[in-house]
Amino acid sequence: MFDGAIFVGLFIALIAGILVYGDAIKRGESQDSAIGWGIFVALILIIGLPLYFIMVVQKPKKEEHITRICPQCGRNLTAFPVDIKNCPYCGKTFFTS
CB 17 within 8 A of CB 41: yes
Tell which positions 25-84 bind Zn ion, by CB under 5 A: 70, 72-73
Nearest residue to 12 (alpha-carbon basis) of 56, 43, 36 = 43
Which residue, 49 or 70, is less far from Zn ion as judged by CB? 70
The count of residues interacting with Zn ion (CB under 5 A) is 7
How many helices, marked H, and strands, marked E, lie in the chain? 2, 0
Closest CB to Zn ion among 80 and 89?
Answer: 89
The residue ranges that bind Zn ion (CB under 5 A) are 70, 72-73, 87, 89-90, 92
